[in-house]
Structures are given as C-alpha cells and as structure tokens.
A and B are shown apart, each in its own frame.
Chain A
C-alpha cells in the first residue's frame, strides 16, 4: 500500500508544435486536497485530461493507489475511482437531478429499481456532505452552484475516490464558492482525495494541503501549502520572463478619450461579470489590462465595442455618454462610426470571415465607406487597391489580396484586422490578445504599430493574458480579477510578483 492516491511520473504531451506537458511529475497524497495552480496555458487542464483518459500521454506513467495503470478513456478512469467535475458542466438540462446521476449507470434495463436505489444513495450522500440537492429538481432550473454539486454527486455516485475539479469557482458567486469549499473539506474528512485546478491564490492558501505550481508545461514547484505564502506562489506561477523590448519614449498623455464609470454587467444567472469598473484611457497612452482570462476582460472589451449591453454605468467617450446615444443602427456600428476601432480577441470568429478573400475582409464593418464604392456598388478595383495598400503597409504575406483569409497564418490574419481598424483612423483602439497565435516576427511588427498609433496621439486599450506583452507596451497597467479592477500600477513600477498577486485576486 502507498500513501499516494495518484502518482504522475514524467508525463509528456505535445500537440503539434506546442509542448503542453513536459516531464511532469507529482504525487497526490490520499485524503488530501491538492491544488494545481498556474496561468492560462500552463498545462494544468491538459494534465488532468490525461489523468481522466481524454488524452494519452506521449510518455510517462500514471499510478493509481500505487499500481501503474493505463487509462485509455474516461470510462476506465471512472472504474479506477477517478471522477471529474468539468468547467463546463456535462449535464442534460431537461432531466431531473436523479436522471442525470443514473445516466450511464442505470443498473438494469428498467429505470425503476436503479432510480430507487440511486435516490437512497443520493440522500445518504446529501446528508454526509450537506449538498442540499433535491433529487427531483430539473437541472436546467438550478443555479450554477447547485448544478456543480450535481456534477460532484454524479462522480461520487460512480464511486469516485479521487475528484478532479477544473476551475470550479470560475462561475460561482463568493458565497457559492465558500459552500463548495465546505463540501470539499467534508470530502477530505471522509477520506476522498480532491484535485483542485485553479489560478486563484486565495483558494490554494485557504483549502489545499499541498500544491503543484505549473508554468509553461512544466512543474516548477511541488510544495506543502503550509510552507509557502502568496508571494512565493505568485512568483513561482508567473516566473521571471525575459521582457520583450519595445522602443517607447516617455510621453505625456492628453485629455481623457474614454472615461468609464461604475460599469457593471450581470449575466442571466446573476453572476457579476463586470463589477463597478472605473478607469480612463487618455489620448496618447496605452492602458494595459492584465489578468487571467475569464475575469471580465473579454466582457469589458465587448461592452466598450458595443457588442454587449452593460447592466449599469456610464461609458463616456470624448465627453459624452455613449450609452445615452439613441440610434437605429446597431451599437457596434455606431461606436465604430464615432471612431472606436475594435480588434477582437477571437479574430477568426469575430474579426474575419475566414472563407472570404482578403479584399472583402479588408472592409468588413466599413462597408459604408464611400471610397470603395461607385454608384452604390462596390468597386472591385478600389477594394483590391485598398487591400494592396494594406499588404504593403503591413507586410502581409502572401501578397495576394484575392486569397481566402483562412489560408493566411495567424500573424498575417491579425495584420489584416489591424490594418483595417487602423485605416479607419480611430481615436480609440480596443485591442484584445493582439498577438495570440502570432509568430515572433509579427509580434514585433504589431507591437511597433501599436506604439506608433499611441505616439500619434491615439488612445489604446490593450487586453492581454500575456504579462510580458502588457509590461512591454503599456503606460499604465490595470489588473482585473473577478470582474473588478484589483489594482493599478504604472508600467515602470510594475513587476511580475506584484502583478501576479493582483491577478490572483489579492487586492492592494
């Protein structure tokens, strides 16, 4: 017998050019709560997907209860007593709680006996862990917190001894999160092992016994929680990276172009995605918004671009509140006409129509522009001319304006979007993840362009999960966590530790 529920040894996994896990080893003690912490893309989810049988490791071994095993699919993982609570719940909305729980483990051709047995079992579990779930409720009508408990019940009903939770608090209110932690503690008392994937330092410090820190696919630390503090963890998580050099002169910013006041956005489930944001972006400055993704940055960009309607607050642009504007056209088009350009985070879904050629993509959102049409019809010649200009100015390759945009590399796609938005000569540029999936050469080019735009006196709001990028480009840095701004730092005073703490939701 061994004291470890799970032992991972030298796990490697590569997806194409990306090494998602590199020689990852960790031991997870029985009856403990083990945290796995790291930034986006650090390889946490990949590792757990390997443990749960979704992926197969290229090399390395897994031992459950001291026995080396091969986990080929999730059914085998379940049989080994491993349960997973997915970030996106795997529930059938119009089923009752009970039906969801017995699905796939009905125990016989007829439902009656299995359901009765499950109901008893469920009541016992409900009692043991104070889950407070009504077996006959329709799952789709339950709140997120309860749905998550149904997922936990599903795993326990299948006899899980090891429970993996993937970012469980991302969708929860603080109260629900507290209740979840009570449940997890109860599970530990009953001898269950819990693996908690998270990026929130507070959670790790609050409830884990041990923690593995991952960065860029490797484990950079396996420590006992009692032996570390938040600062140490933040440092491990973010690491000290070589800063990208961007030549950027100091520049005194001008008047405020964008002035956001008390901006709030609440989703249908009542979760506050944006929670009372206040900030300004001035002419001639780049304001960077740092944060682990999913903390409201995407929603902020969409609200400012007119794609989402905020619940309350003001967006003052050049002195006037945009939300008070009455217009028959969609907000996004209106804002664009007023000089707010938007390079969306997900360029392939929201920035481009991938099956259209480059010259058509070059005017998306600017169709009304008179300079590309003649007598109410597009002039193909003018369209082609414009995209040839873009190709020249932004060094887009291959230099063929008739090529489908989907065939270009990520970097060149981004250049098409950027060229289009900059061509409109905006006063305010909103840009999300400017260099996600972009090669090094193009990164440098895009960064240079953004600085040029700033030097030309334009205001830029930059959202990125790449700290390196935020540090290199921004004049001021705002950090978002849980829909709030957890802190503001001038770029020259910023360092990764303080930013890491702020990103973990640790307020100044």
Chain B
C-alpha cells in the first residue's frame, strides 16, 4: 500500500509539467500552428523563474518571470508563423535551439555556476502544502491514507494544474473562443468568411500556450529541483507533444496520456534494484527505457488514427 501510494504520488509530480505543456500544445495546435517549441519555452521559463526567484526571493515573482519568458518566445513563434507565414517546424526548432543555447550562457554570465542557477533557499521555492485535516485523517485506513498521503502535500502549482484542466476543457468546448479556436485549426477559410480573424485567434492561442509552458517550466526549477539545471526539461516538451497526439488533440485524453507517461516514468525509478519474482533483478538500463518504449508502442499501435486538426502547419493565406 505504502509502495503504491508513493508510486502514485511521484506520478502526480512527474505528470504536472507534462499536463501543463500538453495543454499549451493543445491551444496552439488546435489553432492550426504546430508547436514543437514546447520544450524550449519550458526551458527558458525554468531558467527565468529560477533566476528571478533567486534574486527576489519570491517564488511568485519567479513564476511571473517564467511566464513572461515563455510568452515572449511564443510570440516570436506567432510572429514567424502567423504574421509572416513562415515554416512552423523551423520556427519551433529555432525556439528550442535558442532556449538550450541562451539559458546556460546567461546562467554562466550571471551566476558563474557552470550555466546552472544557485540553489534556491527555502523562502524562494514553492512548498508542499498540507491540506486541512491531513494530519488528523492520516490514521483512518484507506480513505484517510489516500487523502493525507496522496492528495495532500503537493505544491500549489499542482493544485493549480488540477484546476486548469477542467477550465481548459470548458474553454475549448463551451466558449466562443473555443469554437473559433477549433474552427481556425480545422478550416481557417470557413472561419474567415464567417467573420473571424484567423490571425487574432492564433495569436491568442499561442499566448495562452506560452503562459501554460511558463508555469510548467517554473514547476521544474522553482519547485522540483530548487535550481535551474542545464537542459533540465530533458525531452518533457516532446513527451507532452506525444501525449497530445495520443489524446487526439483533446484536453482530457491528453491529460490521461500525460498521466500514463508519468506513471511509466515513476515506476521506472521504483523498479530499479528491486528483485522481481521470476525475472529477478532487471538491469536499470532496461527499466529506464520503459517510458520510451511505451510511447512508441502507444503512438504506433493503440492511438489508432490520430486525426490532427486539418489546417495544422498550413499558414493561412486568404484565397481570394
């Protein structure tokens, strides 16, 4: 039981930035703009947040800085791919390259710690929060355990993410903006003739994508590790993109995909050095590969036909 709880607990921690990034990707891709720059935006946000939190001693100002850094890269992407109809893959690739280049350079110049930021002290980090009554309930079997061990004791950013999921889902399916977002990604010409500004919708979508990536990056540096480490996103942006495709560009299934990937990742850590029945000890390399094999298998076989938004990757040029 303890084992399972702690496994699920780390699943939640691993999943949070993935969920945020996947939802970010959903906004931009649903509007018809390919977003392989999730990785870069998260990385820049992680750096900016850690640097700002270190200087100001406020995790919240760190979050703000992270969001601003991520949003500015998102706007570069919008400028290239919406205003100038540039190639969205190249623009996204450029964002990733810029991010992995500029963060250690600035880090080295500002903090002289090999491109990383200094370890944040306790005041400058986001902390785990105990939900009310967590202690009192911790002795109640099952339900109390579930509450105090699993639901309680996460960062405010985790709870924020849990709130964001239904909000995003609601925005996409129940609001005017969501309708326009989906229309613009599917058939921008139809949206245009109906009097919707395609460029405006895409800019807004990329903006919110930038905000969410900013939160994701901040979670990594200001909460999880307490400092920025070079290349600390380590492919999470691409994993989020994979989860998005796994969820067929729909918010809730994409979140499910993130949880699945996170679970695989969390169990990998648990399985290391453990004697399993029959097979015995599995070499750690074989375990580390599990999330990736899972990704490939899921994307190749189980998703079925993942139908992307029809206009994805195609710059909108008025036909008349």
Q: Tell me the chain A residues, 62-109 only, with Cβ under 8 Å from chain B.
A: 74-75, 78, 84, 86, 90-95, 99-100, 102-106, 108-109
For chain A, the count of residues having a C-beta within 8 Å of the partner chain is 28
The distance from the CB of A448 to the nearest CB of chain B, in whole angstroms, is: 38
Docked CA distance A229–B190 (Å)? 38
Q: Could you say which of B176, B180, B189 has the most chain A C-beta atoms within 10 Å of its C-beta?
A: B176
Residues B174 and A112 in contact, CB atoms below 8 Å apart: yes
Docked CA distance A454–B194 (Å)? 52
Closest B residue, CB atoms, query A89:
B190
Docked CA distance A437–B310 (Å)? 33
Residues A78 and B174 in contact, CB atoms below 8 Å apart: no
The distance from the CB of B314 to the nearest CB of chain A, in whole angstroms, is: 15
Chain A hits for B137, CB < 8 A: none
Chain B hits for A102, CB < 8 A: 179
Given A95-B183, A103-B190, A78 and B195 touching (CB < 8 A)? yes
User: Residue-by-residue, is B163-203 near A (CB-CB < 8 Å gives 1, otherwise 0)?
Assistant: 00000000000111111101100110111011110000000
Asked whether any CB of chain B lies closer than 8 Å to the CB of A54, the reply is yes
Residues A154 and B174 in contact, CB atoms below 8 Å apart: no
The distance from the CB of A264 to the nearest CB of chain B, in whole angstroms, is: 31
For chain B, the count of residues having a C-beta within 8 Å of the partner chain is 20
The distance from the CB of A52 to the nearest CB of chain B, in whole angstroms, is: 9
Given A74-B195, A109-B175, A90 and B187 touching (CB < 8 A)? yes
The distance from the CB of B310 to the nearest CB of chain A, in whole angstroms, is: 7
Chain B hits for A55, CB < 8 A: 320
The distance from the CB of A149 to the nearest CB of chain B, in whole angstroms, is: 16
Docked CA distance A103–B176 (Å)? 8
Chain B hits for A249, CB < 8 A: none
Chain A hits for B175, CB < 8 A: 109-111
Chain A hits for B194, CB < 8 A: 90, 103-105, 154
Residues A110 and B187 in contact, CB atoms below 8 Å apart: no
Residues A95 and B182 in contact, CB atoms below 8 Å apart: yes
Chain B hits for A109, CB < 8 A: 175-177
Closest B residue, CB atoms, query A94:
B186
Chain A hits for B178, CB < 8 A: 111
Identify which of A49, A95, A110 contacts B176 (C-beta below 8 A).
A110
Identify which of A54, A91, A103, A110 contacts B196 (C-beta below 8 A).
A103
Chain B hits for A106, CB < 8 A: 176, 179
The distance from the CB of A167 to the nearest CB of chain B, in whole angstroms, is: 16
The distance from the CB of A26 to the nearest CB of chain B, in whole angstroms, is: 22
Docked CA distance A108–B174 (Å)? 11
Chain A hits for B193, CB < 8 A: 74, 84, 86, 90
Chain A hits for B310, CB < 8 A: 93-94
Closest A residue, CB atoms, query B185:
A92
Q: Could you say which of B182, B186, B190, B320 has the most chain A C-beta atoms within 10 Å of its C-beta?
A: B190
Docked CA distance A99–B191 (Å)? 11
Chain B hits for A104, CB < 8 A: 180, 191, 194-196
Residues A100 and B195 in contact, CB atoms below 8 Å apart: no
Residues B183 and A103 in contact, CB atoms below 8 Å apart: yes
The distance from the CB of A79 to the nearest CB of chain B, in whole angstroms, is: 9
Closest B residue, CB atoms, query A114:
B176
Chain B hits for A93, CB < 8 A: 186-187, 310
Residues A49 and B174 in contact, CB atoms below 8 Å apart: no
Chain A hits for B176, CB < 8 A: 106, 108-111, 114
Residues B195 and A75 in contact, CB atoms below 8 Å apart: yes
Q: Tell me the chain A residues, 114-157 only, with Cβ under 8 Å from chain B.
A: 114, 154
Docked CA distance A114–B196 (Å)? 16
Chain B hits for A84, CB < 8 A: 193
Q: Could you say which of A84, A86, A104, A154 has the most chain B C-beta atoms within 10 Å of its C-beta?
A: A104
User: Residue-by-residue, is A431-473 near B (CB-CB < 8 Å gives 1, otherwise 0)?
Assistant: 0000000000000000000000000000000000000000000
Docked CA distance A95–B172 (Å)? 13
Residues A92 and B186 in contact, CB atoms below 8 Å apart: yes
Residues B183 and A110 in contact, CB atoms below 8 Å apart: no
Chain A hits for B180, CB < 8 A: 103-104
Q: Could you say which of B174, B187, B194, B196 has the most chain A C-beta atoms within 10 Å of its C-beta?
A: B194
Q: Tell me the chain B residues, 188-221 only, with Cβ under 8 Å from chain A.
A: 189-191, 193-196
Beyond the given A92-B186, A103-B180, could you list 19 further A-B residue pairs with CB under 8 A, ordered by the A residue number?
A75-B195, A84-B193, A86-B193, A90-B193, A90-B194, A91-B187, A92-B182, A93-B187, A94-B186, A94-B310, A103-B190, A104-B194, A106-B179, A108-B176, A110-B175, A111-B176, A112-B174, A114-B176, A154-B194
A-B contact pairs, 18 of them (CB 8 A): A49-B320, A90-B190, A90-B194, A91-B187, A92-B183, A92-B187, A92-B191, A93-B310, A103-B179, A103-B183, A103-B190, A103-B194, A104-B180, A104-B191, A106-B176, A108-B176, A109-B176, A111-B175
Closest 8 CB pairs of A and B: A104-B194, A104-B195, A54-B320, A90-B190, A106-B176, A90-B193, A92-B187, A103-B194
Residues of chain B touching chain A, judged by Cβ–Cβ distance below 8 Å, are 174-180, 182-183, 186-187, 189-191, 193-196, 310, 320
